[in-house]
Structures are given as C-alpha cells and as structure tokens.
Amino acid sequence: MIPYLLRKLATIALLLVAVFTASFFLIRLAPGGPFDEDRQLQPEIRRAIESKFRLDQPLGTQYREYFTDVFVRGDLRPSFSYRNTSVNQIIAETFPRSAALGSAALFVALLLGIPAGVFAAARRGRAADAAMAAVFALGLAVPNFVLATVLVLVFGFWLGWFPVAGFDSLAHLVLPALALGIPLAAGAARLVRAGMLDAMDSAFVRTATAKGLPRRRVLLGHALRAGLTPLVTWLGPATAAVLTGSLVVEQIFAIPGMGSFFVTSVQNRDYTLASGVLLLYFGLVAVLNAAIDVALHGLDPRVELR
Amino acid sequence: MAMAGARSTRRAFAAAALLLGLPVLGFVYGRPGRLPPADFRFVLPKDVATLDPHQASSFADGMMVGALFEGLCRIDPDTLAPIPGVAERWDVDADGLGYTFHLRPAATWSDGTPLVANDFVRSWARALAPATGCPNRGLFRPIGDGSGVSAPNERTLRVRLVERAPWFPALTAHFAFSPVPVDRIATHGDAWSLPGTHVGNGPYRLELRRLRDRIRIAKNPHWHGKDGVALDVVDAYTVGQASTALNLFLTGQVDWVNRIPPLAITALEGEPELSKHPFLATNILRFNVTRDVFADGRVRRAFDRAVDRGTLCARVYREGERPTRSFVPAELRGESSAPIEARSETETREARSLLAEAGFPEGRGFPEVELLFTADESVRRVAEAMADRWREVLGVKVRIQPQESKVFLDSMRSLRYDVCLGSWTADFLDPTTFLDVFRADSSNNRTGWKDPAYDAMLDDAAKLVDPAERLALLVRAERHLLDHGPFAPVAHRGQANLVAPRVRGFTANALDLHPLDRLSVVRE
C-alpha cells in the first residue's frame, strides 16, 4: 500500500507540473491580453499594470518565478480580473459552494441511479427493463440547460415550490442539484445494470442461486456487490467533475461557485485564475482516481494496486 | 475464510466512506448560508472587479464605487446638472480656468474621521501616478499633471486647469475623482479596498462581498445626507446570465434589472415595469484607414451612406435605439433630438456614385472585406444586416467575422481589421466626451486616422471662453470629423430597465445614473 501511494504521489506531481506548463504557455499564445478593455488603457498605464503583474519580464523568468510561487510556496498569485484578490482566496471561497452543489447532485445520482439500475437488472429482458432503458437514454440525452429550464419552469414558476436561482438557502440548491444529478443518475443506473448482469452470469452467483439462497439475497448480496465495480470506477472522474462545478448549471441558477471560471477566466485572459482552477481540477481527478483504485481493491481484493 | 470476508467488508466500507466522505464534507462546508434580507436588491451583469475608485472601470465597478464614495459634486439624476457633493458650492474664475471648491464643514470619511481638501489633492495625485494604473486617467486631461491642484486650507480646494473644461464640476462627480483614504492605502496596500478595511465617504459603506454572488452595502451613518437615505441595506447580486436575472425579477427576488434578454424586451413592451429611455451612447462603425481601400474617404462615405439605419433601429436593435448621422447626441449640442429621415433613395444613390468615383463602379474590382464584431447573438444580427445591405447597395463582398471579446479588442488595437462594430458612451455632458475619441493621440481612436486640422479645432475650442462660440467650433469640428473621419455613426443607444412597482424614486435618464440613496421602497 505505502509504495503504491508514494508512486501515485510522484505521478500526480508530474501531472500537475505538466498541466501548469501547458496552461502557462497555451493561454499566453491566445490573442488578446488581460488588459485589453473597451476603453483602451493609456500606454503608460498598461505598462504599469503589466509590470505590477510581472508580465513585463522575459517569458522564461516569468515561468520560473511563477513555478516557484505555485509549487514551492503554494501561492497561486493575485487574480488579474478580481483586483486585490488572490487566486487562493477565490478558490477557497468558491470551490466549497461548487462542492456543496456537486455533492447534492451526486447524492441525487446515487439515490436514483443505483435502485433504478438494480430494478432494471432484476427485470432483465422484460418490458420494464426496456422502459427503464428508454428513461436512462433520455436522461443522458437531454442537455443540462434544457433540463434546468424545464425544472425552473415547472417547479419555480408553475408550482412555485423552489426559488428559480440564487444561493441563499438549502431550498435554492434543490433545482440545480436535480439538473446536475439526473443525467448522472441515468449514467449510474446504466453502469449498475450492466455490472449486475455481468455478475449474474458469473459462476459464484449461479452457485449462490443453486444453493437455494433467496433471490433477493443473491441479487443484493452477491450480484450487486460485484456489479458495483464499474460504477465505482466511474465515480472518480464523475466526482471530480461535479465537485468543481458546472458552467451551465451554475450560470442558469446563479450559483456562485467556481464552475464558470473554467470558461470566464480564459475569456478574461486571467492567466493566474485559469491556471489555478486547472491545477485544482486535475489534482482532484488524480487524487480521486487513486482513491478509487484503493476502493476497488477493497471491493474485490483480486484487483491489484499498481 | 470468515476473517478474509470481514476484512474485505471493512475495506469496502472504508472505500465507501472515502468516496462519500468528500462530498459530505463539501456539502457541509460549502452549503448556502442565510443572510438577513436586504431592503433593496438589484442585479449587476458581472462581478465587481474592485472597489478602489482608481482601479474601477466597468459599469458594475462604477455603480458600487458610486454608492461608497462621493466626489466634490454629484450629478442630479433628474436634470443631469452638477449639484453639491462634498463641496457645498464652487466658484469659477473669470478666465474659466480656475475653480474654487468650498467643502462642507461636516465632510467625513465613513469611519468618522474628517475629510479635508488636502485629501483630494493627494487622491488625484494617486490617480495620476502611472503606477496606480488608473484606467480613467485620461479623464484628468483638464488638470494636466495635477500641479495646479492645491488646498489653501482644510475647507478649500483650488484647481487651476491647463485647458478650459466647462464640464469640470460635473467631471468631479465621476468616480475616478472620488477622494480615497491615502494613509490607509499606505498601511494596508491593495487590501484596503476589501471588506473590513474599506473606507469611503459616500451614502453607503461596504458590509460584505461574496465573490460571484453579491456585494452588500449599508447606510453610512457618517454621511452628511444620511437623513434622506431610505434604504438601509442594499444587495447587488452578480448574475451573468440575462435570462437568469429576468427569472429572479419575475419571481420577485430582485427589484431592478438593467440587462434584459432582447426577446423579453419585446415581450414586456407596454408593461409598467419596463422603462426604455435614450442613453448618451452612439453605436458606430470603425474603418481601418491603414487598409488601402479604406484610406480613400470616398469608400468610407459610400459604406456610411449605404447603411440602412431606419430598418436597423426598427427591427434589429431592441432597446429603443434611434437612427443617427451624428456622433455627438443632440442633447449635448443643446438641441432636442429630432429623428432623422429613416431611409432615403438619395443616400443610396450617393453611396453608389461615391464608390464609383473611388474606382469601383457597382463594386467591380473591390476586394472582399471583413466586418469584425464581438461574438454575441444580438451583435451578430446587426453585422448580418449591414453586410447584406452593403452587398445589395454597393455590390461588394463583405464577410462577417465574430471574435471573442479580448481577441476583438486586440485586433482593433493593433489595427488587424477592415471594418468593425463599436460604440462610445459619454463620460460627462459635453461634446468633447465623444469628439476626443478620434484625436490623433487618443488611445481609443483605434483606426489609424490622424488629422492635425481636426486636433487643432478641438484645441482652439478649448481656448474659447464664450460658451456659444465654443459650441459652434465643436459643431464644426464634428462636421469635419463626419466628412473626413474614420467612422460612421449608426444609432444613438437606448437603455431598458426593469424596475419593480414597489420601488420609488427611480428616474430614467440619459446617463443611466441611478443613485441608490435616492431610491425607496413601499411595503406591500
């Protein structure tokens, strides 16, 4: 276990350096700079601001100093678009909100997805299975923004049960969590169904059935446990994606999370904020994937940690 | 066997805890927290970048800085005339170059310390220092390097202008001219403008900032006009999506929205909540005169004459735009705005003959040109309408090219375009707020056009003391600009606002100024 974790740690460090380097150079290649405004800055003002953000040094020096700040001091530097605010502060403030919404969405996904998948697997080949398959396909196919708009219309305007946008109370989280969670639930259900069907064809489940165990115990005790493997594998990247926020859902529901930064920081050429959110995202994906490996090993000790 | 089973069950539990623990933690830590409700809530289209008046630039920045600070003068939202702010009165020297502002004895900062004339001297010096990086530094042009600004005593500010600027009292109402607590800035550095350390001198003071969510301000108990302020707590929400802002308004969660989806403007036409009014801004076309074809003034005039302004304003723009053939809105020339004749056959004929004169009869031999604009659905419709019209009237090929905002600004700055869509908004009530854009040394010119004769007219106008003579010269300068310049005015802008019926004191005006201290709400 320990050597595995050490190896994993080294890989994650390498990945982050690669992400840092790629984002550093790519965003600087894009035309237009952070200080191009509708009202053009006077040349000396522009130079003063660029020097304040240390953009006046040679690229190599910029890279070296920024690298040291990020990886040695853990300082992601001040944002270009939020003046007088560091990227560390911005992430510390907005990431938990995205994470809260993402967590709520993940619970929706698991709460709806696992039972639906089990149900479909248990009714394999029957009409109910086919109907569920259609529902899952629909859940995956309907784009987020359409689902969000329908939810706002029905539960916000017609029924008036939940607020249409904002981030003032738990009630404000219900519609965005559904909008984000329902497509995930459909995905989860399909994985659970497939995983269980695989397991149900395997020798140990047939043995359990032959021993005369009740069907419910075979399904939930044996098939489900083995069948969860694909779901758990999928959970790593899904969690990372959902915790760091969704641009579309955050915009439609005015959730003050960090999801929008993946797009707006690049649009604003906010170099430091863009690098910061990318590092967080890739770091999270890598850590969660390692956690998944450990979890799979727990579910099925035949899975080796490599 | 039993042992192994127990171990793997334990592992499975550990794994499940690991997987679900993070989301649970995330939820507990990041869940929304309740705040006591505000008296008035409105929507800003984007996050406030800073509450430092010398770094502020966007509409959102200006709106909030305007509530937290007060200049020597303020602008009356009904008349748009300068009225007393920190200064209770002011005198102008006979030569029109010297101003004496007399400060209110009661002037204080929001922390209760007295505000003195020297605070303005030091604040303006900070705005002028290049290291401050003040985006609005260009507005300080009339005071030159600031050496003519002095404080003979605590209550008197003397300003000696380097060129005549009759709008100077009104200019001191612009947020860039606000006093800033210079000593506090020296102590706290950039962090001075954050909640906790922020100090201003306006009707409100800063309570809290939640990034991407809201800024909350509360009545400043030290402000001289506090007795007239009706709203104790005001929330300014950041809502990027216009349709989301509309949803919030329609469900009563906010009281004022000023960016409305175009389709909703059409749908809400005639409703009492919707107010549309003229706005002192002009939509224009820029021609890049460093491109061979547009170096020829006749080609630029041909493109100008061919634009169908009437149809654009009737069918494409949504916020009440008015067709125009002038850059400076009539209100700033002291005239009332008369609608121009929508579309004339003479103009179309003139456009064709100008292009023929320039050597391209019926567009023959004219190279394909590109019309550049910022990627946005409503701007695209304008670009399409114009390109179609040029094709139809002039017989030229025009490709429309959307670019993401920062790329567009970069292309415009470095003159990598043929024709592009733009606009200019008044900073103050004087024709020069528009005319200065196309001075040779203006950073906003962005066309490659330089004309010493034009610059000389503006310089001469600044020397005239008599307002009527000055205005006459400025009108001539604009005529010169329209005949020879690198641009074509298309429409004067309109502005639409959605205001809840419970709000009182909201006046529609041409600068779209809505001081929060003038507003109140009635309880239903």
Q: Could B213 and A95 be called an inter-chain contact, meaning their C-beta atoms sit closer than 8 Å?
A: no
> In angstroms, what is the C-alpha Rg of chain B?
27
Residue of A nearest to B128 (CA): A45
Looking at residue A110, which CATH number applies to its domain?
A: 1.10.3720.10
| CB neighbourhood size of A26 (10 A) | 12
CB-CB neighbors (< 8 A) of B19 in chain A: 232, 235, 239, 291-292, 295
B459 φ/ψ angles, rounded to the nearest 5 degrees = -65, -40
8 Å CB contact of A243 and B446: no
pLDDT at A197: 87
- Judged by CB atoms closer than 8 Å, whether chains meet at A32 and B404 is answered as yes
Tens-digit pLDDT profile for residues A234-284: 887 788 778 877 889 999 999 999 998 998 999 999 999 999 999 999 998
Q: Give the mean pLDDT of A192-198.
A: 88
Q: Tell me whether strands B398-403 and B369-374 are parallel, antiparallel or unpaired.
A: parallel
Element (H, E) at B503: strand B503-504
User: Which of B58, B406, B421, B442 should one mutate to test binding to chain A, selecting the residue with the greatest count of A CBs within 10 A?
Assistant: B406
CATH classification number, B52-202, choose in 3.90.76.10, 3.40.50.1970, 3.40.50.300, 2.60.40.10: 3.90.76.10
The pTM assigned to this predicted structure is 0.90
Terminal Cα-to-Cα distance of chain A (whole angstroms)? 9
- Cβ contact B32–A169 (<8 Å): yes
How many CB atoms within 10 Å of residue B362? Answer: 12
- What integer pLDDT is reported at residue B410 of this predicted model? 92
Residue B3: the pLDDT is 40
Nearest to B172 by CA among B218, B223, B132, B123: B123
Q: Which of residues 464-523 of B touch A (CB under 8 A)?
A: none
Q: Domain residues of chain B, as ranges? A: 1-45+205-268, 52-202, 276-495
Picking from B26, B132, B244, the nearest residue to A243 by CB comes out as B26
Q: Do A96 and B30 touch (CB under 8 A)?
A: yes
**Distance of residue A223 Cα from the nearest chain B Cα, in angstroms:** 15
Contacts of A166 (CB under 8 A, 6+ apart): A172, A253, A254, B237, B248, B253
Q: How far does Cα B400 stand from its chain's mean position?
A: 26
- Rounded to a whole number of angstroms, the distance from the CA of A71 to the nearest CA of chain B is 24
What is the C-alpha separation between B11 and A228, in angstroms, rounded?
Answer: 14
Q: Which helix (H) or strand (E) holds B266?
A: helix B262-268
Distance from CA of B108 to the nearest CA of A (A): 25
Q: What is the percent of chain A where pLDDT is above 90? A: 51
Chain A neighbors of B35, CB-CB under 8 A = 168
CA of B411 vs chain A CAs: smallest distance (Å): 8
CB-CB under 8 Å, A256 with B133:
no
Cβ burial B182-215 (10 Å sphere, 16+ → b, else e): eebbeebeeebbbeeebbbbbbbbbbebbbbbbb
In the three-class reduction of DSSP (H, G, I as helix; E, B as strand; rest coil), residue B463 is classed as: helix
For B238, residues 6+ apart whose C-beta sits below 8 A from its C-beta are A254, A256, B43, B44, B46, B47, B48, B60, B212, B213, B214
Count of structural domains within chain A: 1
Predicted pLDDT at B4:
43
B window 414-453, beta carbon within 8 A of A: 443-444, 446
- Whether residue A45 and residue B130 make contact (CB cut-off 8 A), yes or no, is yes
- Which pLDDT score, from 0 to 100, does residue B16 have? 63
B444: nearest Cα among B172, B139, B127 = B139
Min CA distance, B5 vs chain A (Å)? 10
Which CATH number is associated with domain B276-495?
3.10.105.10
Residue B259 tokens, joined? 């960016």
pLDDT at A11: 92
- Whether B47 and A170 lie within 8 Å, measured CB to CB: no
- The CATH architecture one would assign to domain B1-45+205-268 is 3-Layer(aba) Sandwich (3.40)
> B8 to chain A: which residues are within 8 Å by CB?
298-301
Which of A32, A84, A102 is closest, CB to CB, to B50? A84
Q: What's the gap in Å between the CA of A127 and the closest CA on chain B?
A: 33
Of A40, A96, A294, the CB nearest to B26: A96
Q: Got the DSSP string for A42-60? A: PHHHHHHHHHHTT-SS-HH
Length of chain B: 524
Question: Minimal Cα–Cα distance from A36 to chain B, Å?
Answer: 6
In angstroms, the separation between the Cα of residue A14 and the nearest Cα of chain B is 24
pLDDT band at A229 (very low <50, low <70, confident <90, very high): confident
Please indicate whether, in this complex, the C-beta atoms of B132 and A257 are within 8 angstroms of each other. Answer: no
Q: For B441, which residue in chain A has the nearest alpha carbon?
A: A42
| Chain B residues within 8 A of A280 when measuring between CB atoms | none
- A287 belongs to a structural domain: no
Q: Does B365 touch chain A (CB under 8 A)?
A: no
CB-based contact, B238 to chain A, within 8 Å = yes
Per-residue pLDDT of chain B (524 residues; tens, 9 = 90+): 334 445 555 655 666 666 666 667 767 777 777 788 999 999 999 899 999 999 999 889 999 999 999 999 999 999 999 999 999 999 999 988 999 999 999 999 999 999 999 999 999 999 999 999 999 999 999 999 999 999 999 999 999 999 889 899 999 999 999 999 999 999 999 899 999 999 999 999 999 999 999 999 999 999 999 999 999 999 999 998 999 999 999 999 999 999 998 889 989 989 999 998 999 999 999 999 999 999 999 999 999 999 999 999 988 998 889 999 999 998 888 777 666 665 678 889 999 999 999 999 999 999 999 999 999 888 999 999 999 999 999 999 999 999 999 999 999 999 999 999 999 999 888 999 999 999 999 989 999 999 999 999 999 998 888 889 999 999 999 999 999 999 999 999 999 999 999 999 999 898 999 999 999 999 76
B379–chain A Cβ distance below 8 A for any pair: no
Q: Which residues of A touch B133 (CB under 8 A)?
A: 41, 45, 48-49, 52
Of A216 and B41, more confident? B41
Give contacts of A220 with chain B, Cβ < 8 Å. Answer: none
Total residue length of chain A: 306
Helix (H, G, I), strand (E, B) or coil at B441: coil
Contact predicate A305/A293, CB 8 Å: yes
How many beta carbons lie within 10 A of that of residue B260, not counting itself?
Answer: 23
pLDDT computed for residue A214 by the predictor:
84
Q: What is the pLDDT of residue B338?
A: 67
Q: Does the residue A280 lie in any domain?
A: no
Do B68 and B205 contact (CB within 8 A), yes or no?
yes
Taking CB atoms and an 8 Å cutoff, what residues of chain B touch A292?
19
Closest partner CB to B12 (pick from A98, A253, A299) = A299
User: How far apart are the CA of B133 and the nearest CA of chain A, in angstroms?
Assistant: 5
CB pairs under 8 A between A and B: 216
Taking CB atoms and an 8 Å limit, are A82 and B408 in contact across chains?
no
Distances in Å between the alpha carbon of B480 and those of A3, A46, B484? 79, 31, 6
The pLDDT assigned to A218 comes to 80
Q: Which of A36, A254, A300 lies at the smallest CB-CB distance from B409?
A: A36
Interchain pair A157, B211: CB under 8 A: no
Domain of A258, in residue numbers: 101-267
